Structure 1
Amino acid sequence: MMKHLLSLAMVLLVLAGCASTKVDRISSDEVVDLSGRWNDTDSRLTAEAIVSDALSRAWLDDFQSSNGEKPVVIVGTVGNKSSEHIEVLTFIKDIEKELINSGRVRFVANSVERQEVREEREDQQSNATEKTAKALAAETGADFMLQGVITSITDAVDGKKVIKYQVSMELIHLESNEKVWIGSNEVKKFIKQSKSNW
């Protein structure tokens, strides 16, 4: 009897624990900042600010005047030198989306994506019809590479914390190595918590 009561009590505890979880669906563009750490909103807004600044500078008009066409851009490495884990790939994809959707530049795949596409093209040489097989060595080369780094500074005392994230980006001409644009964007957050939570 005691064994059955103990089993019943365990089941009730598990059910009670499960009943406390509640999930609400929210809009994907709604700002929710629970921890104060870098999040999806920071990534999206920073990408928008960085690309807007880059595309408003003289390098773009200079290139189009000299070449008569839109420049081809690729995003290279974005390093994370901040004090926390940041999913850099999400930020890179936000940057790529902003660049492509601007209509001001042309865009090519990064080295990992190119490798998969090259393997597919190679496979087509043997397995696709001559009419539909895509040519080898016909890729569009990039004119500029966008690279950058995410850093952070944290200051904390008496249950209060300030985190400043800085995203610094550089646009480099691939043939000459000339840096044609340097920009940055900062995100600063003030967080109040009880000391026991840190």
Structure 2
Amino acid sequence: VSRPWLENFSNQHNRVPTVIVGTILNKSHEHIDVGTFVTDLEREMTNSQRVLFVASQRDRDEIRQERQEQAVHAREDTQKRPGQELGADFMMKGTISTIVDESDGVKGIYYQVDLDLINVETNVKSWYGQKKIKKVVERKRLLF
């Protein structure tokens, strides 16, 4: 999380940026739980205390419904007001892909995660991240 985009934003706005996670596509040939991946990413960045994450669209809809119900059913001194949400400064989008390489009974699977951080106001891509992980599987040969 220590990249120029973060320092620049914090210096210009005198606060930490808010981020929302957009679509992370699984383009791999395997089932990968993208939700678990996103949760891990949000946890790491949030725990750094240098970024705030805002709720996803699905979560926001559920929370907004709760506020509407509070307006009708909750005591006035405990109701939460509408219009107090934080807007996201950046949206994180990306892909998860795999490359499979097999030779002499050894199978190598390369997982690649590519992420972009896009400024919501200007559409400028402020950061690119990439992580590669290699998994090697050796197959036992049967001899007859």
The normalised TM-score by structure 2 is 0.94
- Answering whether residue 8 of structure 2 is matched by residue 58 of structure 1, we say no
Length, aligned pairs only = 142
Given residue 5 of structure 2, which amino acid in structure 1 is its aligned partner?
W
Given residue 89 of structure 2, which amino acid in structure 1 is its aligned partner?
D
Distance 2:86 2:94 in 1: 23
Distance 1:139 1:195 in 2: 59
- Answering whether residue 135 of structure 2 is matched by residue 189 of structure 1, we say yes
Q: CA deviation at 1:111?
A: 0.7
1:81 to 21, 24, 27: 27
- Answering whether residue 118 of structure 2 is matched by residue 176 of structure 1, we say no
1:71 to 17, 28, 52: 17
The normalised TM-score by structure 1 is 0.69
- In structure 2, the partner of 1:160 is 106
Q: CA deviation at 1:157?
A: 3.2
- In structure 2, the partner of 1:92 is 38
Distance 1:57 1:195 in 2: 47
Paired residue secondary structure (2:78):
coil
Bigger fraction of residues in strand = 2
Distance 1:109 1:182 in 2: 22
- In structure 2, the partner of 1:133 is 79
Bigger fraction of residues in helix = 1
Q: CA deviation at 1:195?
A: 5.7
- Map 1:6-155 to 2 at 5 A: 55-155=1-101
Distance 1:158 1:106 in 2: 48
The higher radius of gyration belongs to 1
- Residues 77-115 of structure 1 show CA distances to partners (whole Å, capped at 9, x for unaligned) of 111001111111110100111111111112211111111
Q: CA deviation at 1:146?
A: 0.9
Structure 2 unaligned runs (5+)?
Answer: none
Counting aligned pairs with the same residue, the percent is: 46
Distance 2:79 2:141 in 1: 63
Say if 1:142 and 1:195 are closer, same or farther in 2 by CA, change over 3 A: farther
Distance 1:92 1:104 in 2: 17
Distance 2:36 2:132 in 1: 17
Mapped contact 1:158–1:195 kept (Cα < 8 A): no
